[in-house]
A and B are shown apart, each in its own frame.
Chain A
Amino acid sequence: MATVSLRGVNKSFGRHKVIKDISLDVEEGEFVVLIGPSGCGKSTLLRMIAGLETITTGELLIDGKRMNDVPPRERGISMVFQSYALYPHMTSEKNMSFSLRIAGVSEKERTQKVQHAADILGLSSYLERLPRQLSGGQRQRVAMGRAIVREPSVFLFDEPLSNLDAKLRVKMRAELKELHQKLKTTTIYVTHDQVEAMTLADRIVVLRDGVIEQMGAPLDLYDAPANAFVGTFLGSPSMNLFDGEIRQGEPDAVYLPDGQHFTLSQRSEHRGQVQVGIRPENLKLVAQPDPNTITAEVVVVEPTGSITEIVLRKGERDFTITSSERLNLRAGETVSLVADANAIKVFKPDDRILLNESA
Chain B
Amino acid sequence: MNARLQSAGLLRHAVLVTFAAIVLFPFLWIVMAAFKTQIDLLMGRVFFQPNLTGFVDVIFDKTSDFGRNFMNSMIVGVGSTVLVLVVATLAAFSLYRLQWPGWVLHSLLGWSVIFHMVPPITLAGAWYTMMRSVGLDNTYTGLILAHATLNLPMALWMMGVFIRDVPKELVEAAQIDGANVPNILWNVVLPIVRPGIAATSILTFVFSWNEFPVALVLTQRQTATVPLGIGKYAQENTIAFTEMAAASTLSIVPALILLVFAQKLIVRGLVSGAVK
Using Cβ atoms and an 8 Å threshold, which residues of chain A touch B22? none
Among listed A110-118, A125-133, A175-183, A254-262, interface-contacting one: A125-133
A200 to chain B, nearest CB (A): 22
Select one of A72, A79, A163 contacting B276, CB under 8 A.
A163
B274 touches A73 (CB 8 A): no
Contact status B177-A85, CB under 8 Å: no
Whether A86 sits at the interface, judged by CB under 8 Å, is yes
User: Is B176 at the interface (CB under 8 A from chain A)?
Assistant: yes
Min C-beta distance of A76 to chain B, whole Å:
11
**Complex interface: chain A residues within 8 A of B276 (CB):** 83-84, 163
Interface string of B233-276 (1 = CB under 8 A from A): 00000000000000000000000000000000000011111111
Q: List 19 A-B contacts (CB under 8 A).
A: A51-B175, A52-B176, A72-B172, A72-B176, A73-B175, A83-B169, A83-B274, A87-B170, A88-B270, A88-B271, A88-B273, A88-B274, A89-B192, A98-B179, A99-B177, A132-B272, A132-B273, A150-B177, A163-B276
- Chain B: number of interface residues, binned into ranges: 20 to 34
- Find B173's partner among A77, A81, A89, A130 (CB 8 Å cutoff): A81
Minimal Cβ-Cβ distance residue in A for B194: A89
Is B176 touching A79 in the complex (CB atoms < 8 A)?
A: yes
| Residues of chain A within 8 A of B135, CB atoms compared | none
Is A85's CB under 8 angstroms from B178's CB? no
Taking a contact as CB atoms under 8 Å apart, the answer to whether A98 and B177 are in contact is yes
A99 partner residues in chain B, CB cutoff 8 A: 177-178
Instruction: Count chain A residues whose beta carbon lies closer than 8 angstroms to a beta carbon of B.
Output: 30
Q: Which residue of A lies closest to B275 (CB)?
A: A83
| Alpha-carbon distance A243/B176, docked complex (angstroms) | 49
CB neighbours of A81 from chain B (8 A): 169, 172-173, 275
**Is A85's CB under 8 angstroms from B273's CB?**
no
Q: Which residue of B lies closest to A50 (CB)?
A: B176
Q: Are A134 and B273 within 8 A (Cβ)? A: yes
**Which A residues touch B275, using CB under 8 A?**
81, 83-86
Point out the residues of chain B lying under 8 angstroms from A85, CB to CB. Answer: 167, 169-170, 172-173, 274-275
> Any chain B CB within 8 A of the CB of A305?
no
A102: contacting residue among B177, B191, B192, CB under 8 A? B177
- Residue B64 is within 8 A (CB to CB) of chain A in the complex: no
Additional A-B contacts beyond A88-B273, A102-B179, A134-B273 (9; CB < 8 A): A81-B172, A81-B173, A86-B275, A87-B174, A87-B188, A98-B174, A98-B187, A99-B177, A133-B273
